[in-house]
């Protein structure tokens, strides 16, 4: 089996001949952990310019330089799908973020709900998890990870896209998901405690909200997020 090449997300433009300075962490990973020598190939992406083949030009313990050679894959965006979720305990939020990147979303929006059950949301840490997941799964795009905001604030400035509300009260009812491939969409997953009565009332009257069921059993929030993303991707997304 061919050896898997190291992939790195870089916050710099990627062009032929472009020199890319590594951070201390990246240099440590490439030269101390992966033991790459000068001349070794590395794959780079920055979320805009596709995937590039680069080579190690300088390798030191805490720093290094790569040089971009050629684009090997074009830039590919995931479908215009957002995931709204109430933060969970930190390791479960990290799991949810990692899996959402693998399954394919454009934006991750943590929302504060009445029965918010998790720790506070550490946006910078979760952004780092999203980058690691994109590096590992071959994506050329890293979803935007937004700061925590109240659900109500987000709903009052909504852009009109269809919002699939995973409603635990519908557990056991049919799994009809109206929509069409290519339509911008979002999925809302509630906290472990579920939605409060006033949140349910509010969601029920919004014209852009479509309540959906995720089968007959009550799923943990992170399972519900993965199930909903999978269902949407298989029906309307880029898995076709
Ligand atoms: N405490 C709530 C209860 O027992 O009714 C359950 C909340 S559940 C652990 C967390 C979130 O996952 C829910 O708010 C909902 O968005 C989603 N969810 C879980 N199972 C679901 C199902 N069968 N259908 C729709 N949504 C579901």
Q: Are 224 and 189 in contact (CB under 8 A)?
A: yes
Q: Do both 103 and 33 map to the same domain?
A: no
pLDDT at 204: 96
* Out of 1-10, 78-87, 135-144, 231-240, least confident range: 1-10
Q: Do both 66 and 85 map to the same domain?
A: no
- Does pLDDT of 3 surpass 80? no
CA distance 52 to 159: 34
pLDDT at 209: 97
Measured over all CA atoms, what is the biggest interatomic distance in the chain, rounded to whole angstroms?
61
Q: Are 55 and 16 in contact (CB under 8 A)?
A: no
pLDDT at 38: 96
Q: Which domain holds residue 218?
A: 81-236
The share of the chain scoring above pLDDT 70, in percent, equals: 97
| Structural domain includes residue 2 | no
| Structural domain includes residue 112 | yes
CA distance 175 to 231: 10
- DSSP at 113: -
Q: Do both 86 and 184 map to the same domain?
A: yes
Q: Please give the backbone phi and psi of residue 44, each rounded to the nearest 5 degrees, phi first.
A: -125, 150
Question: Which of 73, 93, 120 represents a domain boundary (last residue)?
Answer: 73
- Read off the CATH number of the domain in which 55 is found: 2.40.240.20
- Does pLDDT of 65 surpass 80? yes
Q: Do both 108 and 201 map to the same domain?
A: yes
**162-166 and 149-150 strand pairing:** unpaired
Q: 117 alpha carbon to ligand 1 midpoint, in Å?
A: 13
Q: Do both 69 and 88 map to the same domain?
A: no
pTM above 0.85, yes or no: yes
Q: Do both 90 and 50 map to the same domain?
A: no
Q: Do both 231 and 144 map to the same domain?
A: yes
- Does pLDDT of 1 surpass 50? no
* Mean pLDDT of the region 111-130: 88
Residues with CB under 6 A from ligand 1: 166-168, 170-171, 189-190, 192-195, 213-215, 218-221, 224
- Closest atom of ligand 1 to 115 CA is 1
When the pLDDT of each residue in the chain is averaged and rounded to a whole number, the result is: 94
* Mean pLDDT of the region 225-233: 97
Q: Which of 60-69, 115-124, 173-182 has the highest mean pLDDT?
A: 60-69
Half-sphere CA count of 169, side-chain side, radius 13 A? 11
- Does pLDDT of 118 surpass 90? no
What does the radius of gyration of the chain's CA atoms come to, in whole angstroms?
Answer: 20
- Read off the CATH number of the domain in which 166 is found: 3.40.1280.10
- Does pLDDT of 8 surpass 90? yes
Q: Do both 45 and 163 map to the same domain?
A: no
Q: 190 alpha carbon to ligand 1 midpoint, in Å?
A: 7
- Does pLDDT of 116 surpass 90? no
| Structural domain includes residue 143 | yes
Q: Which residue has the higher pLDDT, 130 or 174?
A: 130
Test site for ligand 1: of 218, 225, 228, most ligand atoms within 8 A of the Cβ: 218
Both tokens assigned to 182: 């290519």
| Structural domain includes residue 1 | no
How many structural domains are present in the chain? 2
Q: How confident is the model at residue 176 (pLDDT cuts 50, 70, 90)?
A: confident
Residue 75's closest CA among 156, 161, 141? 141
- Does pLDDT of 222 surpass 50? yes
Q: How confident is the model at residue 205 (pLDDT cuts 50, 70, 90)?
A: very high
């Amino acid at each position: 089996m061919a050896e898997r090449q190291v992939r790195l997300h870089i916050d710099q433009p990627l062009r032929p001949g472009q020199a890319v300075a590594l951070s201390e962490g990246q240099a440590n990973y490439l030269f101390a952990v992966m033991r790459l020598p000068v001349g070794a190939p590395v794959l780079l992406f920055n979320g805009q310019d596709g995937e590039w083949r680069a080579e190690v030009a300088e390798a030191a313990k805490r720093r290094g330089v790569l040089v971009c050679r050629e684009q090997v894959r074009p830039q590919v965006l995931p479908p215009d799908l957002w995931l709204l979720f109430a933060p969970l305990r930190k390791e479960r939020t990290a799991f949810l973020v990692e899996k959402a990147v693998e399954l394919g979303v454009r934006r991750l929006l943590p929302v504060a709900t009445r029965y918010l059950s998790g720790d506070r949301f550490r946006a910078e840490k979760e952004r780092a998890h999203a980058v690691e997941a994109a590096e590992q799964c071959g994506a050329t795009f890293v979803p935007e990870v937004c700061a925590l905001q109240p659900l109500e604030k987000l709903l009052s400035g909504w852009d009109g896209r269809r919002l699939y509300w995973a409603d635990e009260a519908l557990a056991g009812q049919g799994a009809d998901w109206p929509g069409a491939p290519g339509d911008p969409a979002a999925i809302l997953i509630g906290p472990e405690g579920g939605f409060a009565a006033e949140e349910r009332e509010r969601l029920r009257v919004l014209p852009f909200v479509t309540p959906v069921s995720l089968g007959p059993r009550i799923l943990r929030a992170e399972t519900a997020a993965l199930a909903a993303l999978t269902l949407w991707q298989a029906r309307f997304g880029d898995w076709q």
